[in-house]
Amino acid sequence: MTTLGKEEQLLGTVASALVTLDELRDLTAFRMPYPAKVQSALDRLALHCLRRGARPPSSAPGLVRWGYQRPLGSWPLVLPTDVYPDDGFLVDKLSGAPTALCHEIALCAEAANPFLEVSRQVAEMAAFAAERGRTSAYGATRNVLAAHPVLTEERLSSMVFKPGVRVLDEYLGKFYVKIGPGFAIDGRIHACDGCGGLLLPAGEEGWWCEREECAAEGLVTPGEYWDYEVRIRVQGDRRHRQFVSDPGKAVLRLGDKIARAGVRVEYWPLTGTGDLRVTVPGGEARTVRIVDWHSPALLGRAIAASVAGTGADIAYWVVAQYRIDADPGYQRIATEHAKSSRIFSEDQFADMLRQEASSHA
């Protein structure tokens, strides 16, 4: 595990406070008294700024403004530049929501093993399914989570009573929570045409989707919509969606790609920490974890913490392809911080297995 310096710890405290504010659904109307986590962040940042001769934010809305007005390079903090980009922001200016980077900083500051922390809910479900020998039900439930970030209550009920899912109906229902009024635009809830997640208006820029892949692929456009009176449920909180359910789409995509190459693919194995277990004819099974992080350095640190927690580098870490395409140095940076040689892009990993499969044909 990486030991954070005092100024990294402070940044993590601020990032966690911004995530807490976002969970209140209304950043600008937030009034005192602030939650303890938010007040602590304001107090610690104010003390630090006074010591540096800088003017601190005086309120929660002021802290949010810092998040979208000040790139990290202009904060009065001395941070490792190979980890925190000078041009990175903690809050998205268009939506007012914490960025993916903010969520990664908060998670890494709060958890010694970030991957273990974000997987607790699905790990509990996996343990229950394993105890009762319900492998297929677990896989079916994970498929629903990967494919449906948003469901109407009527559709959720139909999913719960599917034969393959029913044994885990209580777990599936817990993953979906009632949607807040902040997503209602003129009485309607809009889904992103790219991922099916929720959209927020972004002024003249159009729409904002929390999934960075949709923006990278130019897919942030309105798709399905519902009247607000229709009861809509969204999957978990932002942390769950960002680190667990959203990468599930890449899991399904990669699994399909390598299965067509003659590789045996097991989705969502009950044991171990992987999203896939793949076996080339004549070869050993490999555990695969699909990851989609904004920061390659923080991803590398999280992988290092996971390896340290298990005591062995047993998983193959496959990065969502659009991350590698957008940043040619992404894989190198992640590898340096993880100190692991098992980090691949989707294309690299699929090509490696395809070649191995063809050599055994």
Rg (CA), the chain: 21
Rounded average pLDDT over 112-134: 93
Given this model, what pLDDT does residue 229 score?
84
Q: What is the pLDDT confidence band of residue 25, given thresholds at 50, 70 and 90?
A: low
Compute CA 184 distance to the chain's CA centroid, rounded to the nearest angstrom.
Answer: 23
- 187's CB contacts (< 8 A; 6+ apart) are 227, 228, 229
pLDDT at 29 over 50: no
CB 245 within 8 A of CB 236: yes
Q: What is the pLDDT of residues 183-210, one digit of tens each?
A: 888 889 999 999 999 998 887 768 999 9
Which pTM was predicted?
0.94
Residue 105's SS3 state is: helix
For the chain, which domains are there?
Answer: 6-110 (no CATH), 117-242 (no CATH), 246-359 (3.40.1350)
pLDDT at 181 over 50: yes
